[in-house]
Chain A
Amino acid sequence: RKEVEQDPGPFNVPEGATVAFNCTYSNSASQSFFWYRQDCRKEPKLLMSVYSSGNEDGRFTAQLNRASQYISLLIRDSKLSDSATYLCVVGDMEYGNKLVFGAGTILRVKS
């Protein structure tokens, strides 16, 4: 079983749509959670950290369910510029602060 699992997609959605990505992780001791965005042939960039209480940043909402070991990302009112690969990332805050990356979910927003 992979440590971090994501639906690879691709998710093809029209502009203005709402799209949700899901992610599960296997290490119950994980302490930190993130969503990164990666554009084609570019480095990953931090989109948002994910907290137990849930957090929102504009059109993006992230949720964490520790009991189910499940993380989600909701994008409302999709823009063409949202097209990218979204990476679910989990860390354990131990020595070295290592992160484990999911393989990513591809999003294509079309006009």
Chain B
Amino acid sequence: SQTIHQWPATLVQPVGSPLSLECTVEGTSNPNLYWYRQAAGRGLQLLFYSVGIGQISSEVPQNLSASRPQDRQFILSSKKLLLSDSGFYLCAWSERDEQFFGPGTRLTVL
């Protein structure tokens, strides 16, 4: 069966510091991969999605970037975090129309 991992689970970072969040999927090949952010008390916002290695589509302008160096690995990065980057970051995968989420990373920028 398929599983999806994210780490770290929680992270506290100062403003201006870099960020790297990792997501890996097991038990499937060539999945679509997604990064979402959920701000406190708000809905999920799609940040990036990828349909294959090296293919990244950005949904909203921001100081974040994403990369897919391997088929089942998706990385979210920032060179300099802002206070507004705080939130719950969720990675998801899909093969057809349903999406399945990882456990998420709770990021606090101070």
List chain A positions with a Cβ less than 8 A from chain B: 31-32, 34, 41-46, 49, 87, 91, 93, 95-104
Which 5 residue pairs across A and B have the least CB separation, nearest first?
A103-B43, A43-B101, A32-B97, A101-B44, A96-B49
Nearest Cβ distance between residue B91 and chain A, in whole angstroms? 9
Interface size class of B (residues with CB under 8 A): 20 to 34
Task: Say yes or no: A49 contacts B98, CB within 8 Å.
Answer: yes
List the A residue with the shortest CB-CB distance to B46.
A98
Number of cross-chain contacts by CB at 8 Å: 48
List, in ascending order, chain A residues with CB within 8 A of B101's CB: 43-45
List chain B positions with a Cβ less than 8 A from chain A: 32, 34, 42-44, 46, 49, 51, 57, 59, 88, 90, 94, 96-104, 106
Task: Say yes or no: B43 contacts A96, CB within 8 Å.
Answer: no
A42, A45, A99 pick with most chain B CB within 10 angstroms: A99
Nearest Cβ distance between residue B50 and chain A, in whole angstroms? 8
Task: Say yes or no: A41 contacts B43, CB within 8 Å.
Answer: no
Q: How far is the CA of A43 from the CA of B23 in the complex (A)?
A: 14
Task: Say yes or no: A46 contacts B102, CB within 8 Å.
Answer: no
Nearest Cβ distance between residue B59 and chain A, in whole angstroms? 8
